[in-house]
Amino acid sequence: MTPTDHLANAASLTWHQHLARLFQAVTGSGFPLLLEQTLRELVGFDTILVNTYKGQRRPLLIHDNYPPTRREQGIERYLNQAFLLDPFFKAVYDGLENGAHRLRELAPDRFESSDYYHHYYRALGLTDEIGLFARVDTDVVMVVSLGFRDDAPRITRRDMLALRHISPVLEVLLGEYWKWQEHRFHQCLAEREPVEEAFDSFGRERLTAREREIVRLLLAGHSTKSAARELGISDGTVKVHRKHLYQRLEVSSQSQLFRLFLDHVALVSRRHVEQ
């Protein structure tokens, strides 16, 4: 099929009409909702979140479709604590800035065994997620997260190809939207506290720097082998460090470690509010 053949079919006309409406709306506050409606024509997702990430700061929510009954679990818990262990947040932190990516491509090897998954993610009822990443400013990345539930159609290879093929256009659109609407969010985003402090200070008085690195990897869902690979050390060394850090933090399981970490995040957040 030639490019002309592709552009001449009826489906192409419909899609380009959608794109034209997006370009017309890109400077206005209604763009995120129109983007949601347009993406739904391509992929049958269940949930959508549009978050803005600036450096190590707490994410700023731009748009979502969560009903009031699910906001506490799906939105508030994420923005207050859970995002620290989100593979999408970690990907932005590590420098990923554009393209369409499945959660399972970015998540560590034991993600579904992690406490983040059991205490937060599983309760969302999602089986998979696609993130559309776009760097919209020097230090700002927007992520459009499409969530898929148990009863939704499975993500197909064709779905991923479609989203990957249109992602360059979406990156331009999101960049334009941010250019025109940044003033609405700038102050709020600038005031959001850096969250890296929570990881940096967790166990600082009791743990070595290496042990704190291992804590972060274990909490995110890395297995012993995966953590060893990330740090360039042996599996046995990771096990020894894990044993020592459990003793020093006076915990006996990863679930206890997770709860202790969440308590620490809450403490750090309260300190910022009081300052």
Q: What is the pLDDT along the chain (275 residues), one digit of tens a residue?
A: 676 777 788 778 888 899 999 999 999 999 999 999 999 999 989 999 999 998 878 899 999 999 999 998 889 888 888 888 899 999 998 899 999 999 999 999 999 988 889 888 988 889 899 999 999 999 999 999 999 987 766 788 999 999 999 999 999 999 999 999 998 887 777 776 666 678 788 899 999 999 999 998 998 899 999 999 999 999 999 999 999 999 999 999 989 999 999 888 888 877 766 66
In CATH, which superfamily holds the domain spanning 25-191? Transcription factor LuxR-like, autoinducer-binding domain (3.30.450.80)
The pLDDT value recorded for residue 199 is 79
What's the CA gap between 204 and 132, in Å, rounded? 35
The pLDDT value recorded for residue 187 is 77
The pLDDT value recorded for residue 96 is 93
* Residue boundaries of the structural domains of the chain: 25-191, 195-274
* Cα–Cα distances in angstroms (integers) from residue 35 to residues 24, 139, 237, in the given order: 12, 23, 48
Residue type, 222: H
Instruction: Give, for 98, the enclosing helix (H) or strand (E).
Output: strand 98-102
Whether 29 and 181 have beta carbons less than 8 Å apart is answered as yes
What's the CA gap between 44 and 232, in Å, rounded? 40
The pLDDT value recorded for residue 272 is 65
* 3 class by beta-carbon count within 10 Å (0-12 exposed, 13-18 middle, 19+ buried): exposed
Whether 218 and 251 have beta carbons less than 8 Å apart is answered as no
Smallest CA-to-CA distance from 46 within 103, 161, 127, 158 is with 127
Secondary-structure class of domain 195-274 per CATH: mainly alpha
In the chain, beta strands by DSSP E: 47-54, 60-64, 98-102, 126-137, 140-149
The pLDDT value recorded for residue 274 is 66
The pLDDT value recorded for residue 61 is 94
Cβ neighbour number for residue 126 with a 10 Å cutoff? 20
**Whole-prediction pTM:** 0.88
The pLDDT value recorded for residue 145 is 97
The pLDDT value recorded for residue 198 is 80
Supply the angle between the helices 254-274 and 235-249 in degrees, to the nearest 10.
Answer: 60
Same fold for the domain at 25-191 and the one at 195-274?
no
The pLDDT value recorded for residue 192 is 65
